[in-house]
Structure 1
Amino acid sequence: MTGSQHSGVPHPGSGPSAAPLGPARRTVLAAGLGVAATGITAGRAAASTAAITGTKIRNLTGPAETGAFAAPWTDLGIPARCPDGTMLFVCGDTFDGAGVGDRDWRAPVGLRARHPDVDHLVIDDSVGGAHAVGLVPEGHENNTTAIPSDVFTIGGTMYMHLMRGVLYQTHHSDFWRSTDNGETWQYLCQWPGDQYGGQFQQKTYAVADDGYCYVLSTVFNRDVASDLLLHRVRQDQVGNPAAYQPWGYANGAWAWGNYPTTITGRRRWGEICFRAMGGKYALTWLNMEPLSMRAQIFALPTSNLFTTPEQTIIVPTTPGNESGNAVASPYGGFIVPGSTFGDFNITVSQWYDAQNYRVMQYRINGLAV
C-alpha cells in the first residue's frame, strides 16, 4: 500500500456525510509512458504490490481483433454496458493502415462486444459496421482531438464526456447522450476548460443507487499536479451544468454546495475511472509519479481518501519483459462492467511504437476491500 500526501484541510470524512498524428502531439502523449526511456521499472512500485497480482486476458484491439472495422490502431476503450445488454468500448485516437498516424484518423469511435461476458470479451462489431465511424464531429484542425474521459449508462440512455482542443490545452469539455445504444449521439452541454483552474476538465461518473451521479474531476494534463474534485448531480440533471453541486470544506466543515476542495493529495493524474459497485465505490487511475495504475475502494463518495489505502494494480516494465501485472507503457485503466472486487477486470492501453498501440483486458486479483 502507498499513501498520498495530506493537505492542510481536514479530511472529507470529518464533515457530513484525417491528417496523421502530428509529431508534437506524439511527443506529448509519449512523455511519461515509457515510449521514450522513463527510467521507471516495475521495481519502483514493488513495495506496494505484494498482495496484488494480475493477468493479461487478451488483446481487445489490434489488427487481428479490430482490423475488420478499420480500427486496428486505437486506445482507451472505456467500457459501458448498453441498454440492450451489449458492451460499447469508446476509444480515442483511431487509425487504419500500417500503424499509428498512418491514415483515417477518427476520435472517438465505438467498438462493440455483442456478448459482454468478462470471461469471453470479444469485440465483434462497431458503430459503423465495417468502418468504425467517428461518434461526434471532429475535424482535427490544428492537431486537435476529442478525447473521451468517460461513458456510462442511466436507464435507457448512455452519456459520453469528451475533452476538446489541442492535447493538454483543453479549450472545453462537452457532454453527449445516446438513446440507441451508442449508435448516434446528441449534444447536451459543455464546460469551459478553465473552470476551477482547469480541474473540471477530465471527469468520471459513478452512477449510484440514491438517484445521484458522483463526479470526480482533474486537470487533463499528465505533466501538471491537480486536485481531485468531487461533485454530485441528480441523474435526471446530468446534462445541466448548473445542477452540479460541489463538495468542499468551509467554515470548519465539509458540505455540499461549498466551493470544491481537493478530496485527496495533489498529484499528476492520468486517466481516472470512478464506479459504484458491490455496495461500495471504486476509483482507479493512472498515477504519473511513480508511474503505475492504482485503485482505492471505499464506502461512500465522501469517504476520506487521504487515509484510504492506495493499491497498485499495474506496474510499468519494458517491452519484452511483460508478465503478470507488469505492462510496457501502460495508461488508461477503466473498470469493465460486470467486474466484482473478487474478479476485477480493467481495460489497459499500451503505446510504445507505431505497431504497439492497443487496448487490452487485465484481471486483477488480491484487492483489499
Structure 2
Amino acid sequence: MNVVGSGSQISSSVGLSRRMFLGGAAGVVGAGLVAGTMPSAAATDSVVADGIRISKVADLTGPDITGKYGIGYVDLGIPVRCPDGRTLYVFGDSFGPNWGDNWKSPTALWSRTRGLSSGVTFSGAVGGEQASQLIPYEHGDEISTIIPSDLITIGDTMYLQGVVNQGFGNVIWSGIWTSTDNGATWTDSGARFPGAAYDKMWQLFTWALGSDGWIYVYSAEFLRESPMILHRVRPDKITDPDAYEPWGKAGDSWQWGAGPDPVTDGIIGEMSLRQLGDRWVFTWFNSADYRIDAMVLDHPTQDLRTTESITLLHGTSWDNEDINHVAQLYGSYVIPGSSLDDLHLTVSQWNTGDNSIYRVMQYRFRGLGRRL
C-alpha cells in the first residue's frame, strides 16, 4: 500500500505494519469484507450480557461528523477533563479529507457534553477551524509517528504521555508533554522513558490519580506483545522517570520498590485505568481473545490474576455485527462523567480491507457496579 494525500505521504512499510498491528485478530476475520450496516447511533437498542446492559450510543467521528475539522478519519479518542471543565478527546493517526490525507498525530477536539447518554458532540478543534498536530514534528525516518496513550489533569496542568515510533512499532522512547491552557498548546517536558526498559513494558501507559495522593501507572509494550507492570508516582514528580516506584515481588510478598514484575499473565493492549468513587475500573483491548474486557478493582495493587475479567464487547467479522459484537474493534477509554453503573467508553474501529471505516465510537455499559 502506498497512500498519498494532499499533505504527508504514508510509506508502504508504515501503513502495512500499522494495519497488521491494529488489525490483529480482526484483520484475519474482517479484512476484505463489506462494511456492515449497524446504525451510527443506536442508543435505543441494547442487549444484556453477563448482567450488563450494553448499547452503542453514537459514532463520534467520521467524514460527516469530524470532517469539518479536517480529521474525518481518526482513532483512539482518549478523553480527559480539562481544568476549565471541558473534555479533550485526543486521537492517534488522523487523516482528512480522505483516508491517508494530511497525516497528523496526535490531534484533539474539545467537547462540552455532560449528558453522555445523548452522545458526545464536539465544540472545537485544537488548532482552530482545522485540527492541528499537537506536537511539532515531521512524519519521516527519524520519527514516523507519535501515538498518545493516556492523559491526566493535575491542577491547572494537563499531561499527555505519547509513544514515539521510528517505524511503526519500533518504539525508541515515550515521553510526556504538558499543557497549561486546557490543551490548546503543548510543551515537551523532557521526560523520557526508554523504549527497551523493563522488557519494553514501559511504553504504553494508562494512569490515574488516586484519593491517596498517588498516581498509579499501568504500562505494557506498545505492540500488544507483553503483560503489564505497575508503578506509582507523586503528582509533583510525574515528569521525573526516576521518581516512579515499581511494584514487584520481594520473596513471597509484593511491595513498592521491588521489581517491577508483571501483574498479569495475558497480553495487554490499549487500556484505561480510572478511579470511580471508592473503586477503580480498568478496561483494555484483549487482542489475544479479540475483545474489550474490564475489571473492577478495590485498588490497582490487588491481584489481577485472581480478579474477575468481564467481557464488554466481542470482536467479529463485518458481516456478523450486532450490538455487542463489533468488527475490527480496539482501544477502550473511560469517558469522564462515567460511573461503575453507567460506564461510557470510546472504542475504535478500522476496516483495514478498504479503509472505508476508521473511527471512534461511544458505547454505554449499565450495571457493572451492581453486577459485582
Please give the TM-score of this superposition, normalised by the length of structure 1: 0.88
Amino acid in structure 2 at the alignment position of 1:338: G
Match of 1:198 among 187, 197, 200: 200
Which residue of the partner structure matches residue 240 of structure 1?
240
1:108 equivalent in structure 2: 106
- Alpha-carbon shift at residue 33 of structure 1 (Å): 4.7
1:20 to 10, 34, 57: 10
In structure 2, relative to structure 1, the CA distance for the partners of 1:33 and 1:61 (3 Å cut) is farther
Aligned to 1:186: 187
Q: Which residue of 1 aligns with 2:133?
A: 134
Percent of counterpart pairs with the same letter? 38
Structure 1 segment 131-280 matched on structure 2, within 5 A: 131-142=130-141, 144-165=144-165, 166-188=167-189, 189-222=191-224, 224=225, 226-265=226-265, 267-280=266-279
Structure 1 residue 320 displacement after superposition: 4.3
TM-score, structure 2 normalization? 0.87
Q: CA RMSD in A?
A: 1.8
Whether the 8 Å contact between 2:164 and 2:171 is mirrored in structure 1 is yes
Higher relative contact order (CA 8 A, sep 6+): 1
Cα distance in 2, alignment partners of residues 127 and 322 from structure 1: 34
Q: Name the CA distance, whole Å, in 1 between partners of 2:362 and 2:151.
A: 17
Kept in 1: contact 2:26–2:290 (CA 8 A): no
Once residues 270 and 109 of structure 2 are traced to their aligned partners in structure 1, the CA distance between those partners, rounded to angstroms, is 19
Cα distance in 1 for partners of 2:175, 2:113 equals 30
**Cα offset for 1:116?**
3.6
Provide Cα deviations, 1:111-166, integer angstroms capped at 9, x if missing partner: 11133431241012110121100000231113711000001211211110000112
Structure 2 match to 1:29: 21
- Cα deviation 1:328-362 (Å, max 9, x = unaligned): 11001000011001111000000013120000000
Distance 2:137 2:325 in 1: 34
Matched, 1:359 2:351: no
- Counterparts of 1:239 and 1:278, CA distance in 2: 26
Contact 1:114 1:125 in 2 (8 A): no
- 2:222 maps to a residue whose letter is F
Q: Is the 8 A contact 1:52 1:312 kept in 2?
A: no
Mind listing any 5+ residue stretches in structure 2 that lack a counterpart? 1-7, 32-47
- Using the alignment, how far apart are the partners of 1:173 and 1:253 within structure 2? 30
**3-state SS of 1:282 partner:** strand
Cα offset for 1:20?
Answer: 2.8
C-alpha distance in 2, partners of 1:182/1:151? 10
Structure 1 residues not aligned, in runs of 5+: 1-17, 40-47
- Residues 68-91 of structure 1 deviation map (CA, whole Å, 9 limit, x = unaligned): 100100000000011111110000
- Per-residue CA deviation, residues 5-64 of structure 1 (Å, 9 max, x unaligned), is xxxxxxxxxxxxx2136342343234325234269xxxxxxxx95323311100111112
Rounded to whole Å, the distance in 2 between the matches of 1:116 and 1:88 is 12
3-state secondary structure, aligned to 2:254: strand
Distance 1:280 1:338 in 2: 15
Aligned length: 339
Change (3 A) 1:308 1:30: closer
